[in-house]
Structures are given as structure tokens and as C-alpha cells.
Amino acid sequence: MNADAPIVIVGTGLSGYSLAKEIRKQDKDTPIVMVTADDGYSYSKPMLSTGFTKGKEADELAQASAEAMVEQLNLQLRTYTTVTGIDPDAHELVLGDERLGYSKLVLAWGADVIRLSIAGDGHERVFSINDLMDYRAFRKALKGKKRVAIMGAGLIGCEFANDLRNGDVDVDVIAPSDALMPGLLPPAAAAAVRDGLEGLGVRFHLETVVEHIANSGEGVRLTLANGEELDSDLVISAVGLRPRTELAAAAGLETQRGIVVNRALETSMPDIYALGDCAEVDGHVLLYVLPLMACARALAKTLVSERTEVKYGTMPVMVKTPCCPTAVCPPPANASGNWEVDADGQDVRALFKSESGEVLGFAVTGGYAMEKQALSKEVPPIHN
Ligand code: FAD
């Protein structure tokens, strides 16, 4: 290994850029090379599902170009460059035919969208939106069109449904679950969000799936498993994300649901770290901004001064459905207790309480959403 080799960060999403910024707060000069498969634009991914509400085109969501980031962070940046392998023994990244040496390597390469294999010849009109380039392509395809079918009623599907309706687009949502955001919201809160979205004009087709997508000339015709047929101009597939683990696993790094790291963000191989959507941190796969920011702060310290462990506090998630403001802090997966629900129309306060009465999680909607901060103080942090 070459001790003069740079710190190499793979990925210029919020994780990669947050880490580079945190490093530069403490150390202006250590050589850093960033490598990204995309155009290297800095942008806030959560804004992708509020673009219509805020009237923003893709270019208006971009906060800084790759060139501006190079200048601001004093680093080298290789855009449109895909990492194809890691050679941990040689301390080298494989970029196709080329090799790039590192002193420390940070994997911040995010999660892939899950793609369903659905019969039919309408796939050109099916979009997944997981980065600014996807969003740009979708906005371009939507010009002059008015109907979008969304596959998936999770957080992202619901946010896009609200946002597109705010942009006066006709929206159908198709999902196999019987409620919105299963696994994230308790039923009463999910019903409140559904009520809000239906009030805006969103049509839900739950407990069924899309079986066939046919090109219908101008748009697509969807055939659902329940026999229904829907016509639409475009389809958004929002059926989930999967941390990118394949290249890490092929290089011998331990992976489970994500790339396994401890609280110091260390993988199972020396000098290789991971954070953000690709990482499973101390058993937690949390595909949100607050956890990756906490990781970036801790990892920057580890890389430039002393080994530092991340400490996750209580991290509520805001669901960006302005038709029914919602905040949720799910209880730990193995927690035992019950939901106590106080509901009045779209105003729902659901508290997950242990047998001894301790609040371990909550979901609040409508008028109760403003209680988010106070409730967050009651819920124990993820890491004590
Ligand atoms: P990414 O942003 O996916 O970045 C991955 C980077 O790695 C990219 O630069 C990519 O090009 C690069 N890359 C991948 N593979 C390779 C390779 N082989 N070689 C080179 N480069 C590679 N979270 C919240 O907390 N609140 C919200 O309101 C919220 N809203 C969201 C709305 C939407 C529509 C979406 C999709 C997500 C939302 N999230 C939200 C989640 C949050 O945005 C993500 O957790 C976060 O942006 C992930 O950042 P990341 O840097 O880890 O990954």
C-alpha cells in the first residue's frame, strides 16, 4: 500500500459530500479523491419528492456543479466513473481497466431501486426516481402529460402522489398492502394519510399488483391482478430500495442487509469504511438523512484525527405529505408493547408504549404533527 495515496470516497450523494465537508472542516489539505458514476451535482435528495409543490425543475434542485464542489472542497472528483471492483489487499479500487490506490476507502455508494419484472411492452414509460438524473428524465417525459400511475404505497410513493397532485397531475397508486406505508405507520396514522391524499384526488388500488404494462401508443395500459385496467401516461416504480452490497461482497467484505460496519463505520476489511444508504451500521439500515449526517461527522474525525464512534439519537422521520402532515419514529423492531391511539379525523396521535408505560415510538398526523419535537424527547435514543 502507498501511504501517500489519497482518501478515496465513492459516491457524491449526501453521504459522500457530507463526509468531504466534515473532513475539510478539520483538515484543509489531506488529499481526497471522489469517484462517482453520476454527474457529481450536489443536491438534496429529499427535494426530489417536493419538486412540483415547490415548482422546481431538475436544474433548480441542483445546488452546485461538480466543478463548484471541487473548488469548495479542494479535492479531485471523477464524474461518470463507475467502480467495478475493490482489491483490499492492494488497497486499490478497480475502475474498469484502471486502478486507483487509496490510503483509506469510503463506500458511500447508496442503494439501488428494486426493479420488478412485469410483463408487457410499455417499460420505456416506467421510471424510478432515486437521483437527480432520474428526476430530470422523468420531468422531461412528463412534459405535456397529465396522468401518472405509481407502483408502491411506501413513503416515497405517497410523497410523489401528494407532490404530483399539487402539480395537477392525475395520480393512481397501486400496491399490494392494505394500508399506506406498512411497516412505518400504524394503521390509524396510515388511514389519516390516505384520507388526506384521497381528499386531493389520489386514487388508490390496494391489495393488488400491476401484472402487465402495455404500450398504448400515447401512454400505457396497466392490467392489475384484480382484473382492473388503468390508462396512464407514465408509471413511477417506487417499490423499495436495496443497499448496494454486491461489489463489497465480491471483495470479501461482510454484508448482510447492507455493508456491515461497526459504530466506527469500519467494515470487516482494514482501511475500508461505509456510510449512508449502502451501510448497515451496528445492525441498523436507516435510509434517511439524519443517520448519514451523524455518521459523516464521526467518520471525518476517525479519518483525520481519532477513532470515533457514531451515536444515534432519536431520529423521527417527516413524511412529506402536506395534505396530512405526518411524523413518525418507529419503535425498535423487537420492542414489545402496544399502540395507544387518539384519533379525530385526520388528527392522529399514536404512541407505542411498553408494558411499563414508556413511550418507545410514535406516529403523529394532522394537527398532532406539531407534537413531534416534544415526543422525540420522550423516546429513548437508538444508541444509549
Ligand atoms: P445516494 O444519494 O444514492 O448516492 C450514491 C452515490 O454513489 C451516487 O453519487 C452514485 O452515482 C454513486 N455510485 C453508486 N454506485 C457507484 C459505483 N459502482 N461507482 C461509482 N459511483 C457509484 N430521507 C430523509 O431523511 N428525509 C426525507 O424527506 C427523504 N426524502 C426522500 C425522497 C426521495 C424521493 C428519496 C429517493 C429518498 C429520500 N430520503 C429522505 C432518503 C435520503 O435522501 C437518502 O437516505 C440519502 O440521500 C442517501 O444518500 P447516499 O449518499 O447514501 O446515497
Which residue's CA is the closest to the ligand 1 atom numbered 28? 46
Q: From ligand 1's centre to the CA of 43, what distance in Å?
A: 10
Q: Which amino acid is at 207?
A: E
Q: Is 236 in the pocket of ligand 1 (CB under 6 A)?
A: no
User: Within 10 Å of residue 289's Cβ, how many Cβ atoms?
Assistant: 17
Q: From ligand 1's centre to the CA of 44, what distance in Å?
A: 9
Return averaged pLDDT per consecutive 10 residues of the chain, 384 residues in all.
Answer: 87 98 96 97 96 91 96 98 98 97 98 96 96 95 96 98 97 98 96 98 98 95 98 98 98 98 98 98 96 98 97 95 97 93 96 96 97 95 89
pLDDT of residue 1: 62
CATH 3.30.390.120 residue ranges for the chain? 325-378
Q: From ligand 1's centre to the CA of 110, what distance in Å?
A: 5
pLDDT per residue as tens digits for the range 39-95? 999 999 999 999 999 989 999 999 999 999 999 999 999 999 999 999 999 999 999
Q: How many CA atoms lie within 13 A of 257 on its CB side?
A: 11
pLDDT of residue 4: 86
Edge to edge, the sheet with strand 203-206 lists: 126-127, 234-237, 147-151, 170-175, 203-206
First vs last C-alpha separation in the chain: 37
Which residue's CA is the closest to the ligand 1 atom numbered 29? 46
Please choose from 289, 312, 315 the residue to mutate so as to test ligand 1's pocket, defined by most ligand atoms within 8 A of CB.
289
Q: From ligand 1's centre to the CA of 261, what distance in Å?
A: 18
Which residue's CA is the closest to the ligand 1 atom numbered 30? 46
ipTM for this model: 0.99
Q: Is 243 in the pocket of ligand 1 (CB under 6 A)?
A: no
Q: From ligand 1's centre to the CA of 204, what distance in Å?
A: 27
Rg, the chain, Cα only:
22
Q: Is 10 in the pocket of ligand 1 (CB under 6 A)?
A: yes
Q: Is 288 in the pocket of ligand 1 (CB under 6 A)?
A: yes
Could you please state the CATH topology (level 3) that the domain comprising 115-237 is classified under: FAD/NAD(P)-binding domain (3.50.50)
Which CATH code, of 3.30.390.120, 3.40.190.10, 3.30.43.10, 1.10.10.10, is assigned to 325-378?
3.30.390.120
Q: What rounded mean pLDDT belongs to the chain?
A: 96
Cα dihedral 188, 191, 192, 194, rounded to 10, equals 160
Task: Let me know: does 219 contact 231? Beta carbons within 8 Å.
Answer: yes
Q: Is 48 in the pocket of ligand 1 (CB under 6 A)?
A: yes
Beta-sheet pairing, 279-281 with 7-10? unpaired
Residue 207: DSSP 8-state? S
Q: Is 315 in the pocket of ligand 1 (CB under 6 A)?
A: no
Task: Let me know: does 337 contact 357? Beta carbons within 8 Å.
Answer: no
Q: Is 35 in the pocket of ligand 1 (CB under 6 A)?
A: yes
278 Cα nearest atom in ligand 1: 52
Residues 41, 239, 205: CA angle, nearest 5 degrees: 130
Q: Is 154 in the pocket of ligand 1 (CB under 6 A)?
A: no
Which residue's CA is the closest to the ligand 1 atom numbered 8? 11
Adjacent-strand bridge partners of 356:
none
Distance in angstroms (rounded) separating the CA atoms of residues 164 and 203: 12
Q: From ligand 1's centre to the CA of 303, what distance in Å?
A: 22
Flag whether the pTM goes above 0.90: yes
Grid coordinates representing 24?
475539510
pLDDT of residue 343: 95
Q: Is 85 in the pocket of ligand 1 (CB under 6 A)?
A: no
Q: Is 133 in the pocket of ligand 1 (CB under 6 A)?
A: no
Task: Let me know: does 190 contact 181? Beta carbons within 8 Å.
Answer: yes
320 Cα nearest atom in ligand 1: 28
Q: Is 82 in the pocket of ligand 1 (CB under 6 A)?
A: yes
pLDDT per residue as tens digits for the range 96-142? 999 999 999 999 999 999 999 999 999 999 999 999 999 999 999 99
Residue 232 phi/psi, 5-degree rounding, is -150, 165
CATH 3.50.50.60 residue ranges for the chain? 7-111+242-304, 115-237
Q: From ligand 1's centre to the CA of 359, what distance in Å?
A: 31
Q: Is 339 in the pocket of ligand 1 (CB under 6 A)?
A: no
pLDDT of residue 384: 81
Q: From ligand 1's centre to the CA of 200, what distance in Å?
A: 29
Q: Which CATH class is domain 7-111+242-304?
A: alpha beta
